[in-house]
Structure 1
Amino acid sequence: MKKTVLALGLAAMMSTSAQADTLLGLYIGGQAWASKASGSFGDGSNNQSAFDFNDEVQGSFFVAFEHPIPLIPNAKISSTTLDTIGGTQVAKSFNFNGQTYSSNATLDTTLEASYIDYTLYYELFDNDLLVFDFGLTARDLDTYIKVAEPATLYTSDLSASGYIPMAYLSTVIGLPFTGFNFFAEANFITYDDQTVYDAQAGISYELIDNLAVDVDLTFGYRTVKLELNDLDDFYSDLTFDGFFAGAIVHF
């Protein structure tokens, strides 16, 4: 259940530097993310079990398209995959989608999750020293969870999907004459016992910088929180975090 998507982003507003984009610009980027997963899930707020998940390398991709027209929001589409497997020995009986597993049962799980973020945002600053964006994101989340007890061959699975509205913030701070930049980006929301966020921060290096194409290498740390309360009968308190490396190409 993986989504690989290119991302469109319209960007250009209140430009404060001659270096800001004045014509159409296309950004294509991606990253490989060595994520560690932890937490619990179940089919009720009081019926969750914690699992030990495997570390996995996840993928994330985006495309952005910029223009100089004022008042029209920028747009960004990005895709992220979160897949892992795990296991646990439950201390008490555990129900999952109609199947009851007895206490002390040894369970395996397969967790597949992916989401596409549709973001509309504005640039408050756009120059070599500071870029600051703010906006709104609609996260299209798909999950599939399978639980199995090898000793009895009992299995149960659940698919859940839905849209999650989120706030969006992004900033880049330039280090003059070095080719390096600090960056940070976050989508987040918290409401009704639910907290969902996707935040990353790191450093980029301008490998190529000319009139035809710019290429930046990126390295940083990313964390994703999925504390969900009744998304198609799915409840979770999951965290994915770890270091990533990637690249961004600007035409």
Structure 2
Amino acid sequence: MRKLMLAVGGSLILVAPLSQADVVGLGASVSYWDSDLSGKAATNNDVVDVENDLNLDSDTNANASLYLEHPVPLLPNVRLNYTLVEQSGRGDVGLAGFDGVTGEVQSDLDLEQLDLTLYYEVLDNWVNLDLGLTARDFSGELIVKEALTGVPSSQTKVDAVIPMGYLAARFDLPLTGLSVGAEGNFISFDGDSLHDFNAYGQYEISLIQFRAGYRQMSIDYEDDNDRLDVEIGGPFVSAGVSF
């Protein structure tokens, strides 16, 4: 069942005079995220530890972003961001089992999200500050099945479109091409919460940007009888272009 969360704690837009780009700007980047997973999943009142019981390991992490900035007053800038995390593992849930599955199990976890962010540049000099709102189309699915036969199997699934606050700050070191920054999305509402933050160092030469940093994502979300309460974190590297 798709749930729509309608509130973000506190209004972000706008608390300071806006800054517009002088010309139209376009940028894109791709990144590799070496993440680890911890936490729990639950369905029908059964709970399993995704790290210790299922031994989930990262197989695929994909992330890509695209942004457009413009000089038109009052209209927000636009950013799209896509993240895919796929993890699998072979573990043991014992005789107590999980949702009807017992003993040695094969598990697969897929987390996919597409963000549409509308934001304003509050500061745009050697200190850069962006504030805005993100609509995140988020889905997560955990499949747990008996390792040898594939039956029985269990499916834990959450699916939602979630509004989140967006904050990004960057500090440029003059005449070096180097900068440091952080950005994130966040919401906490009615017992559910999602937080997605990263901090990085960046080097820019001509139109090319290289980043390295650390990203941490925390998901605590319930959809009917299914719940994911997991954390994903680890270092990342990215390369991008800006025009």
> For the superposition of Structure 1 and Structure 2, which TM-score range results when normalised by the shorter chain?
0.7 to 0.9
Question: What aligned pairs does 1:156-171 form with structure 2 within 5 A after superposition?
Answer: 156-171=154-169
Instruction: Provide TM-score, normalisation by structure 1.
Output: 0.82
Amino acid corresponding to residue 137 of structure 2 in structure 1: D
Contact 1:188 1:198 survives alignment (8 Å)? yes
With over 3 angstroms needed to count, the CA separation of the structure-2 counterparts of 1:88 and 1:71, relative to structure 1, is: same
Q: Which residue of 2 aligns with 1:184?
A: 182
Other structure's SS at 2:114 match: strand
Alpha-carbon shift at residue 91 of structure 1 (Å): 5.1
Contact 2:216 2:234 survives alignment (8 Å)? yes
Contact 1:34 1:57 survives alignment (8 Å)? no
4+ residue segments displaced more than 4 Å: none
Contact 1:215 1:247 survives alignment (8 Å)? yes
Q: Which residue of 2 aligns with 1:66?
A: 69
Q: Structure 1 CA distance, aligned partners of 2:27 and 2:211?
A: 14
Amino acid corresponding to residue 143 of structure 1 in structure 2: G
Q: Which residue of 2 aligns with 1:125?
A: 123
Q: Which residue of 1 aligns with 2:3?
A: none
With over 3 angstroms needed to count, the CA separation of the structure-2 counterparts of 1:49 and 1:148, relative to structure 1, is: same
Q: How many residues align?
A: 222
Over aligned residue pairs, what C-alpha RMSD do you find?
1.9
Q: Percent identity?
A: 31
Contact 1:32 1:57 survives alignment (8 Å)? no
Amino acid corresponding to residue 47 of structure 2 in structure 1: Q
Alpha-carbon shift at residue 234 of structure 1 (Å): 2.4
Q: Structure 2 CA distance, aligned partners of 1:151 and 1:62?
A: 39
Pick aligned residue for 1:139 from 132, 136, 141: 136
1:49 paired with 2:48, answer yes
Q: Which residue of 1 aligns with 2:4?
A: none
CA deviation vs aligned residue, 1:156-197 (integer Å, no higher than 9, x gap): 334432111111100111111221000101001112222211
Q: Which residue of 2 aligns with 1:85?
A: 88
Give the gaps of 5 or more residues in structure 1: 1-12, 209-213
Give the gaps of 5 or more residues in structure 2: 1-16
1:149 paired with 2:146, answer yes
Contact 1:35 1:57 survives alignment (8 Å)? no
Contact 1:200 1:223 survives alignment (8 Å)? yes
